[in-house]
Structures are given as structure tokens and as C-alpha cells.
Amino acid sequence: MLSQAIGDLLPAAAAVALSPIPIVAVVLVLDSPKARVNGPAFAVGWVAGLTVVSVLVVLVAGGASDPDSDVAIGVNWVMAGIGALFLVMAARQWKKRPRGGETPEMPKWMATIDSVSSTKAVVLGAALSGANPKNLALTLAASASIAQAGLDGSDTAVAIATFVVIGSITVVGSVLFYLAAPRRAERPLAAVKQFMSDNNATIMMVVLLLLGAKILGDAFGGVWS
């Protein structure tokens, strides 16, 4: 059922949308001299990365709608592994959180974003959405839930599109806001960037902890049913 499939993928889609590193990255792109070109290029890469991974996983796990099939059992165990991985990642994020007064350390590659070409901006967007380990695991979880729902072709396309749209709200929304009103966008985008930079570890710890517990519980429920 489509509504149930969308309900199941919503937590993973929201977690993708709230991932701090891509949000910081797109704000840095929009703060570069080539913002009007590189911003849309980054957004295109982001959407393409999420879409390609989602479609591939749904195709591979296409037989998971039968709970007694080998594919369904395999998908449940993969989901259990992803859930456990999220709990481990949540613990690591908690340990990595900045302590009293420490400045959060961001990836070194972010220092070069303002000089990338439009082609590299597309690649960067695709890499952060489709190849970034955290987002890849989230996309796998959402796509597996779609495969398990047993939807027909059109409903599957709607479910994937829903995941991509929700997962892209922050990135694509930031680009559209900047293109529509660049001067008005500067201050709120800078504030979002600062908040996400300062609270990266805490945000991801909470998201991964809650999502990991949910995915693990659903997966074991499928295995033991």
C-alpha cells in the first residue's frame, strides 16, 4: 500500500534532509563567486545521486514483497545490519561531539568549494547524496522499505519520488531561495550553516539513534514473523 510505504520511508527521508554536512556544503557553494551556476549544478547532482541509488536498490530487492522469499529474508538481515550500524555511528557521533568551547572541525575539502567548476559541483552533490556512507545507508533503508511494500510500477515511482523530494528539501530549497532572492537569502543561509556546523555531531547522533532503533526493530520483526 502506497500510503504505508511512504510512511515507512519518511524517517529516512527526513534524516537525509537534515544531514548537516550537505547543508553546510550547499551554503558554501552558494557563497562562492559562481553560486548561480554551481548552486543548481550541486542540486542536480544531489537529486541524481538519491534517485539512482533508490532505483537500483528497489530493482535489486524487487522480490522482497513476499515475506517468505529468500530476497525478503536477505533484505531484513541487511536492514538489521543497517540499524545496528546506525546505533554504532550514533555512539561515535556522541564521542566526537565538541566539548565546552571547542570549535567543531569540518572536512578539509570544504575549504576548496568556492573554487570548484560546475562539473565538480554536480559530482560533489551526487557524492554527498549517493555515495556518502550515512546518506547511502539511509537511502538503502528507505529503498528497501519501498521494495518490501509490493507496489506496482507507478506507485513505486511515486514512493521513490516522494523520498527524493523530501530528502532534497533542504539542499534544493536553499538553492531555489538563493536564486529567487540572493540578498535576502544570505543571512538565513549563513545562520543555518553556522547552526549545522556547531551542532553536527549532536544532530546526527539523535537522528541515527532514533532511526537505528526503528530500523533494527522493524528488521527483526520481519525476520521473526
Averaged pLDDT for residues 63-80: 66
- Between helix 20-30 and helix 169-180 the angle, nearest 10°, is 20
Is residue 100 over pLDDT 70?
no
Place of cell 550547499: 26
Encode pLDDT of 35-47 as tens digits: 999 999 999 999 9
Name the more confident of 4 and 99. 4
The closest alpha carbon to 66, from 147, 179, 164, 1, belongs to 147
What CA–CA distance (Å, rounded) separates 54 from 168? 13
What CA–CA distance (Å, rounded) separates 17 from 29? 17
Is residue 19 over pLDDT 90?
no
Is residue 64 over pLDDT 70?
no
Burial (CB < 10 A; 0-12, 13-18, 19+), residue 133, is exposed
Torsion angle of the four alpha carbons 34, 35, 37, 42, in this order, in degrees rounded to the nearest 10:
120
Helix (H, G, I), strand (E, B) or coil at 150: coil
The answer to whether 40 touches 171, Cβ cutoff 8 Å, is: no
* CB-CB neighbours of 111 under 10 Å: 10
100-104, 134-138, 157-161 — most confident range: 157-161
At 151 the pLDDT is 82
What rounded mean pLDDT belongs to the chain? 84
Contacts of residue 178, defined as CB under 8 A and 6 or more positions apart, other chains included, come to 30, 35, 39, 185, 189
At 66 the pLDDT is 55
Encode pLDDT of 178-188 as tens digits: 999 999 998 99
Name the more confident of 139 and 103. 139
Place of cell 575539502: 109
- Can you read off the three cell numbers belonging to residue 155? 506507485
What CA–CA distance (Å, rounded) separates 126 from 173? 16
